[in-house]
Amino acid sequence: MSGTKKVAENMLWGGRFTQGLDPLMEQYNCSLPYDRLFYAQDIAGSIAFARANATTGILTPEEFSTIEKGLLQVKEEWANNSFVVQQNDEDIHTANERRLSEIVGKEIGGKLHTGRSRNEQIATDMRLWLRDELKKIEGWLGELVKCAVQRAEAEIDVLMPGYTHLQKAQPVRWSHWLLSHATAFSFELERLREVIKRVNRSPLGCGALAGNPFKIDRVAMAKELGFDGLLYNSMNAVADRDFVFETLQWGSSFMLKISRWAEDLIIYSSLEFGFVRLADAYSTGSSLMPQKKNADSLELLRGKSGRAFGHMAGLYCTIKGLPTTYNKDLQESVEPLIDHIKTLGDSIQIATGVLSTLTINEEKMLAALAPEMLATEFADYLVRKGVPFREGHHISGRVVALAESEGVPMDKLSLEQLKGIDARLGDDILECLNYERAVELKAATGGTSKSAVREQIEVLGKMLQGKYE
């Protein structure tokens, strides 16, 4: 028992306890295997805290200098993988303080934690780490949108079927499809920038729940750590995980969109469609059927969206019934967040790789266009002659019905047959049977004409620069 008793005594909370932990409980309680990821943030927060304590006289200038040098040595040990984890290092905070005291001595090292709680430390560490990770994701997401915009600009002449209910609906530009998803991603980029602002608020200096008793300068610490502002209620600051919720909500929303994008490309890359072909770098083969080229990258993107949703749902269930303020249940916010961020970052980069390297088959896209997709053009033609749209729609429907009864495409009906349906279908009605014309008529803002597509490209370009319409 003496060995386990020593373990409890050496922990930051050990003075209260006279018996050691059950070995399984010790392992169950330990978060160092994953929160060690925050070592740099934890040390940055400790240096800022020590500096603030030196300002108030808790530490002498010499003691602060010693602590700062010691912490920087600890950081270097983590960075070069020479840090030796001990049995009682239950979390990154404990490990760093234990090692600091070994380097500078317990008399000075023991002063670091004056007025501070691990409750505020983990909240600070998570926010610092998450802020930087979300900024990386912001950059990657911007590259994905930029890739779609560049392809839309370069391939603006390519036409393809547009679908509703997965049925051929109207002809559109391939660029219009690209920009439909780029627009959805741009909305997520806008939301992400707002999330980052709310993540970047400092809880440091709030203590365990009631605040700091040594008149610590929270504003100075926040500025040193690059926070945009403070959390102003100490109870809220240590218990709040809204910044994790909002990140998981945002990530789930984005992954939903990337999943739908992937689904489209899975369909378009199938042999039945053949609109696009994925690069070998983002495909795999079959262990049985040598002819297969599977869109595994896209299927994984679609599948990992469920993983992202699970992170969000799981944390909601964990936290929904917790009393104020900090409870150990909140430790369960760390692992889902770490995995969520990795899933998001990897997914965005894979999506950009897929989009930047896939090739399109213009001939297949054009061949997939069907004359029946131009039926609405007949109705619009009649509207321009003063016919009410509902009546024009009925007449164009009769044209489709005639083609079906004759067993021919709409463009194979003779002018006489068309006029037999309605005399207002004049000699120029055959002009409606032109895909390019149909696409170019959709010139209002948001449409699929070249001018409308170029307008979308311009708007998305401004959005990437942080300028919103």
Residues marked active site are found at 165, 286
Nearest by Cα to 241 from 359, 122, 402: 122
Distance, in Å, from the CA atom of 469 to the CA atom of 435, rounded to the nearest integer, reads: 31
Nearest by Cα to 410 from 372, 466, 364, 381: 372
CA angle 363, 369, 370 (to 5 degrees): 140
Tokens of 386: 């003063």
CB 104 within 8 A of CB 67: yes
CB 161 within 8 A of CB 168: yes
SS3 77: helix
Distance, in Å, from the CA atom of 66 to the CA atom of 445, rounded to the nearest integer, reads: 64
Distance, in Å, from the CA atom of 77 to the CA atom of 215, rounded to the nearest integer, reads: 33
SS3 161: strand
Q: Is 312 left (phi over 0), alpha (psi -120 to 50) or beta?
A: alpha
Nearest by Cα to 193 from 146, 245, 235, 141: 141
Give the number of residues written for the chain: 469
Longest pairwise C-alpha distance within the chain: 103
Residue with tokens 């317990």: 106
Distance, in Å, from the CA atom of 416 to the CA atom of 333, rounded to the nearest integer, reads: 71
Amino acid at 205: G
Residue with tokens 């990337």: 258
